[in-house]
């Protein structure tokens, strides 16, 4: 009798275990292989103009493009600056809606400044609206790792990526790639589903030497070599076939010159205005009582500068409703810069040889989009689309619910594998 009771107990235990396993999914039928690790890596090469890829200096990028998807161009958001556009790409929101309306801006109520190179300014989460991808990923039970990206070292809405690094421009492209590979090497349960990688060498060289300089060509080679290391690292680990790689840029670059300066003082009395930003884009606040005069003086001031009252900015630019945008916005024509005499009088003033920030219809501002991996169709070129559409595309690949956004999956859905 005793052995029979033991058998019954064993049978009961086995049945219970089978039931638990069925509920928890711990038993896998032998014909069902484990799903491969399939991270999504979003790479930004800051200031990579859409046509740079035709220079023959980005062979690793060109290989990804030929095997996967390349867009003829990606249209950046206005203004075509680094912080607004990087944050648009990861939120699907126009700068008007996510609140990073420029690289530099002032809160009209508190007077607080956002200056993109001041860590103390940008690390205040209140500036950053919307829900960037890494926050959505973390909230929805997946893991994000950010090897730099504007906003990624800020605790937006109290959420940080599982793995992240404080921005430090001294980190070489190789060091950044090595860090990404180390994160991918983490054990299941710690390794990231979504990774960002940011490279600024091409943008730096573009500003300092101009888009057609040998220094830009060298930076293109350097960043492409980093991409090559990443791909080699993925192949070495056997995860290249299951990894989705998306390479973008935030904007293009155009040649600027000290011969193409628009000096604001020639048109307005500078005592009657506060200048929030100058350069490609000028943001001005007329002092009380001088609004009408400043308007009249600026609206047709220079053949290569367009100025608008904030309310009159063309709808196609999706720019003007945010309180952080100053009352008057002026934008220079391609290749021109707007400066003040007091800035030009400074002994150490700097006039760049290349710049961006211009109208987002300017062909020189066109950005890069290349994607490769199991989520994408192979060997196709797609027409230009807006960078707000990247967010719905990436949330679909990540399998997360998108936050409300300005993007549309329609123009980009055709690049996804059936």
6 touches ligand AMP by CB under 6 A: no
201 touches Zn ion by CB under 5 A: no
- CA distances in angstroms from 356 to 38, 99, 335, 337, 394, listed in the order given: 35, 19, 9, 10, 26
Per-residue string for binding with ligand AMP, 113-132, x by CB under 6 A? Answer: ---xx---------------
Residues in the chain: 418
DSSP letter for each residue of 64-126? HHHHSEEES-EEPPSS--HHHHHHHHHH---HHHHS--SSEEE-TTT--EEETT-HHHHT-GG
Q: Which residues sit opposite 74 in a β-bridge? A: 367, 385
358 touches ligand AMP by CB under 6 A: no
Q: Which residues sit opposite 376 in a β-bridge? A: 416
Q: How far is the CB of 61 from ligand AMP (least distance, A)?
A: 20
Site for Zn ion in 13-72 (CB under 5 A): 46-47
Q: How far is the CB of 292 from ligand AMP (least distance, A)?
A: 33
Judge whether 5 counts as a catalytic residue: no
Nearer to ligand AMP, 175 or 272 (CB): 175
The C-alpha atoms of residue 141 and residue 162 are separated, in whole angstroms, by: 11
- Using the contact rule CB under 6 A, the part of the chain among 93-101, 148-156, 208-216, 340-348 near ligand AMP is 148-156
Nearer to Zn ion, 286 or 354 (CB): 354
Identified binder of ligand AMP from the candidate list 43, 45, 46, 69, rule CB under 6 A: 46
Contact yes or no for 192/183 (Cβ under 8 A): yes
**Which partner, ligand AMP, Zn ion, none, binds residue 116 by CB below 5 to 8 Å per kind?**
ligand AMP
Identified binder of ligand AMP from the candidate list 204, 310, 377, 396, rule CB under 6 A: 204
94 touches ligand AMP by CB under 6 A: no
**DSSP 8-state secondary structure symbol assigned to residue 322:** S
- Given 82, 146, 243, 395, the catalytic residue: 82
148 touches ligand AMP by CB under 6 A: yes
The C-alpha atoms of residue 68 and residue 54 are separated, in whole angstroms, by: 16
206's tokens: 């573009």
96 touches ligand AMP by CB under 6 A: no
Nearer to ligand AMP, 116 or 343 (CB): 116
Nearer to ligand AMP, 248 or 375 (CB): 248
254 touches ligand AMP by CB under 6 A: no
DSSP letter for each residue of 201-218? HHHHHHHHH-TTSHHHHH
Per-residue string for binding with ligand AMP, 150-189, x by CB under 6 A? Answer: x--x-------------x-x--------------------
Question: Scanning the structure block, which residue is given the tokens 């929805």?
Answer: 140
Identified binder of ligand AMP from the candidate list 43, 65, 74, 81, rule CB under 6 A: 81
Instruction: Spell out the long-range contacts of 54-59 with Cβ–Cβ below 8 A and sequence spacing 24 or more.
Output: 55/217, 55/220, 57/217, 57/220, 57/221, 57/224, 58/220, 58/221, 58/223, 58/224, 58/227, 59/224, 59/228
203 touches Zn ion by CB under 5 A: yes
Identified binder of Zn ion from the candidate list 58, 80, 82, 256, rule CB under 5 A: 82
The contact set with Zn ion (CB under 5 A) reads 46-47, 82, 203, 250
Active-site positions?
Answer: 82
């Amino acid at each position: 009798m005793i052995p029979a009771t033991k058998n019954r107990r064993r049978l009961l235990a086995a049945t219970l275990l089978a039931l638990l396993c069925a509920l928890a999914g711990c038993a896998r039928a032998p014909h069902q292989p484990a799903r491969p690790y399939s991270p999504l890596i979003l790479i930004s090469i800051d200031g990579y103009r859409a046509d740079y890829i035709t220079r023959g200096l980005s062979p690793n990028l060109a290989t990804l493009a030929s095997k996967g998807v390349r867009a003829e161009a990606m249209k950046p958001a206005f203004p075509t600056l680094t912080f607004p556009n990087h944050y648009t790409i990861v939120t699907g929101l126009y700068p008007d809606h996510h609140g990073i309306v420029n690289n530099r801006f002032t809160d009209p109520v508190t007077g607080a400044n956002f200056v993109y190179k001041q860590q103390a300014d940008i690390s205040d989460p209140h500036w950053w609206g919307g829900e960037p991808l890494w926050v959505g990923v973390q909230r929805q039970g997946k893991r994000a790792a950010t090897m730099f990206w504007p906003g990624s070292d800020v605790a937006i809405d109290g959420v940080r990526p599982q793995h992240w690094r404080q921005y430090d421009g001294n980190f070489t492209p190789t060091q950044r790639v090595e860090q990404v590979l180390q994160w991918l090497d983490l054990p299941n349960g710690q390794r990231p589903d979504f990774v960002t990688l940011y490279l600024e060498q091409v943008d730096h060289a573009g500003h300092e030497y101009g888009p057609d300089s040998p220094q830009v060509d060298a930076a293109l080679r350097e960043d492409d070599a980093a991409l090559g290391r990443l791909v080699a690292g993925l192949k070495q680990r056997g995860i290249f076939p299951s990894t989705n790689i998306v390479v973008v840029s935030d904007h293009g670059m155009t040649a600027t010159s000290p011969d193409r300066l628009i000096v604001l003082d020639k048109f307005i009395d500078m005592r009657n205005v506060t200048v929030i930003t100058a350069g490609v884009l000028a943001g001005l606040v007329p002092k009380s009582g001088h609004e009408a005069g400043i308007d009249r003086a600026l609206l047709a001031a220079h053949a290569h500068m367009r100025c608008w009252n904030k309310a009159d900015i063309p709808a196609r630019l999706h720019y003007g409703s945010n309180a952080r945008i100053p009352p008057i916005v002026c934008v220079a024509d391609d290749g021109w810069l707007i400066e003040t005499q007091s800035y030009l009088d400074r002994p150490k003033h700097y006039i760049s040889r290349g710049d961006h920030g211009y109208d987002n219809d300017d062909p020189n501002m066109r950005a890069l989009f290349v994607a490769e991996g199991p989520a994408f169709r192979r060997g196709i070129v797609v027409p230009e689309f807006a960078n707000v559409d990247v967010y719905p595309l990436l949330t679909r690949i990540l399998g997360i619910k998108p936050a409300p956004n300005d993007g549309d999956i329609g123009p980009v859905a055709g690049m996804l594998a059936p």
